[in-house]
Amino acid sequence: MGERRVVVSGASIAGLSVAFWMRRLGWQVTVIERAPAFRDGGQNVDVRGVAREVLDRMGLFEAVRSQNTTETGTVFVDADGRVTAELPSDGPDGATAELEVLRGDLARTIHDHLPPGVDSVHGDTIETVTESAEGLRIVTSAGRQMHCDLLVVAEGVRSATRDRVFVSGEVSRTDLDVTMVFGTIPRTDNDDNQWGRGAPDGPHPDILTDIAAGRRRNLTADRPWADPVLEQLITAATRPEPHTRSYRG
Ligand SMILES: Cc1cc2nc3c(=O)[nH]c(=O)nc-3n(C[C@H](O)[C@H](O)[C@H](O)COP(=O)(O)OP(=O)(O)OC[C@H]3O[C@@H](n4cnc5c(N)ncnc54)[C@H](O)[C@@H]3O)c2cc1C
C-alpha cells in the first residue's frame, strides 16, 4: 500500500497537532489554512488535563512551559480596588494553570516543531469534497485539486467545511449566552502579575486585566454592550470598532 494522505483544514492548535502526529505516523500531510500566513495572536490559554499529556508526548512540554505568561493567580476586587477573594495559581490545574501561555505562542511552538515533510497551503479554503471508493477528492476555492484518504476539519467553532460535509443536524451548536471581547492595552506601573477581576458588585463587573510575561495586559469583557462606559473603554483601548459592533446583541 502506498503512503496514505491526509488533508487537514485549519492551522491552529488542533490542526497543527493533527499534522504533527499524522506525519510522525508516516502519512503524507497537507495543511490548508484560510489565513494568508501563520496566525499569531490570541490571549491566555490554559493547558490542562489530557492536553498536558499530549504536549508531553510531543516532546513540547518544556518548550511551552518556558513561555508561561507568569500570571500568578486571580484576584477579585471591589469598586475601590480592594481584594475580596483570591484564587492563587496552585499547580497544573489551578485557576491559573501551570501551563498558561498565549494562544499564538502555543500554536507557534507546535508549528515550529512539525516534523519535516508537512506541506502547508495558506490563503485557501476547501470548496467541495467528493467521496468515492478511491478516497476523497477536494477542490479548493483557488482551484487546487487534492486527493486524500482522510480529511480532518480543524477549523474551530465556525467551520464552513464542517457545515458543508456533514448533513444538516448531524452537528449542533449550543449557544451558551456568553460573549467575550478581548483586547490588549498598555501595561502600567501599578499592574502586578495577577488577573484582576471585578467583583459582581463593582462598577464594571466584567472587566479583567491580565499580564503576559510583563509584555502587556488584556482587557476582557463579558457582555460588553451591557455597559456603555465599558463599551467605550474597550473601543478606545482596542480600536476594533467593527468587532465591537458585531459582538453587540
Ligand atoms: C486568532 C485566535 C485567537 C484566539 N484566542 C484565544 C484565547 O485568547 N483564549 C482561548 O482560550 N482561546 C482562543 N482562541 C481559540 C482557541 O485557539 C481554540 O478555542 C482552541 O484552541 C481550539 O483550537 P482549534 O485549533 O480547534 O481552533 P481555532 O484556534 O479556532 O483555529 C481554527 C483555524 O482554522 C482556520 N480556519 C477557519 N475556517 C477555515 C476554513 N474554512 N478553511 C481553512 N482554515 C480555516 C482559522 O483561521 C484558524 O487558524 C483563539 C483562536 C484564534 C484563531
Grid coordinates given for 82:
480592594
Residue, of 182 and 238, whose pLDDT is higher: 182
Residue, of 70 and 18, whose pLDDT is higher: 18
Closest to 99 (Cα-Cα) out of 50, 38, 138: 50
Q: Is the CB of 45 under 6 A from ligand 1?
A: yes
Total-model pTM: 0.81
Q: Report the residue among 9, 12, 31, 38 best suited for mutation to probe ligand 1: largest number of ligand atoms under 8 A from its CB.
A: 12
Q: Ligand 1: which residue has its CA nearest to atom 6?
A: 42
Pair 75, 86: CB distance under 8 Å: yes
Q: How confident is the model at residue 22 (pLDDT cuts 50, 70, 90)?
A: very high
* 133 exposure class (CB count in 10 Å sphere: 0-12, 13-18, 19+): exposed
CA distance 112 to 11: 12
**pLDDT tens digits, 171-212:** 888 877 666 666 676 667 777 777 776 655 544 444 555 555
Q: What is the overall mean pLDDT for the chain?
A: 81
**pLDDT tens digits, 137-182:** 999 999 999 999 999 999 998 899 998 898 888 888 887 766 666 6
CA 84 – ligand 1 centroid, Å: 34
Question: Which fold does the domain 5-60+105-165 belong to in CATH?
Answer: FAD/NAD(P)-binding domain (3.50.50)
Q: Is the CB of 185 under 6 A from ligand 1?
A: no
Residue, of 36 and 207, whose pLDDT is higher: 36
Residue 243 scores a pLDDT above 50: no
